[in-house]
A = this chain, B = another copy of it.
Amino acid sequence: MNVRTLCLGVLTAGEASGYAIKKEIEEGLFSHFIDASFGSIYPALTQLAGEGLVTVRAEEQSGKPDKKVYAITPKGQGTLAQAVSVLPGRDKYKSQFLFQMLLQEYLTPPVMLAAVEKQLADLEADHARIRACECAEHPHAGARFVADYGQAVLTAAIAVLNEKKSELLRALRPQAAE
């Protein structure tokens, strides 16, 4: 899955500038399972336009620099449909956090607690973001699917982490309680 296909995917929801596409990737449902920076989005868009998979239209703006608004073409939709119909590659999950937890014998308890709390905060932020997308509009089947999947996974992760955190706190101050 490259940035070109990603841009085509975002553009199926309507025309947008490179800047808006990045925002959508960061704040929309895509954020749960994809990343992309300006350094890859802008060149991808230029390429896509060169191949006729998207159209460009310059929009003048007072003050701000001109906005380039991209829209997907029928040819682009064809290319996207093709790309998306390939059996998907395996999910890739990289977690520094779990690496730390696996090697927790090399950690001091406060450092470990801080890591757990950061992870919890990250997961909850992700969870909230997905919820926000759900309220936005009564969504189509695709959005429903991704939101349900993400929600389920994050809820489970948050639950275990909270348990682990309690265990950790209990171990740290056993003198407390009743």
Contacts and interface: CB of A to CB of B under 8 A. Distances in A.
A148 interface: yes
Given A80-B103, A84-B100, A152-B156, A33 B145 contact: no
A149 to B, nearest CB: 5
Contacts of A30: 99, 102
Interface residues on A, range: 35 or more
Interface string A1-23: 10001100100100000000000
Interface in A130-165: 140-143, 145-146, 148-150, 152-153, 155-157, 159-161, 164
A96 interface: yes
Interface stretch (A49-57, A62-70, A107-115): A107-115
A95 interface: yes
Contacts of A6: 99
A164 B81 CA distance: 21
Tell me which of A102, A111, A114, A153 has the highest count of chain B C-beta atoms within 10 A of its own C-beta.
A102
A77 B105 CA distance: 11
A153 B149 contact: no
Given A91-B94, A91-B95, A102-B142, A152 B148 contact: no
Interface of A: 1, 5-6, 9, 12, 29-30, 32-35, 77, 80-81, 84-85, 87-108, 111, 114-115, 118-119, 122, 140-143, 145-146, 148-150, 152-153, 155-157, 159-161, 164
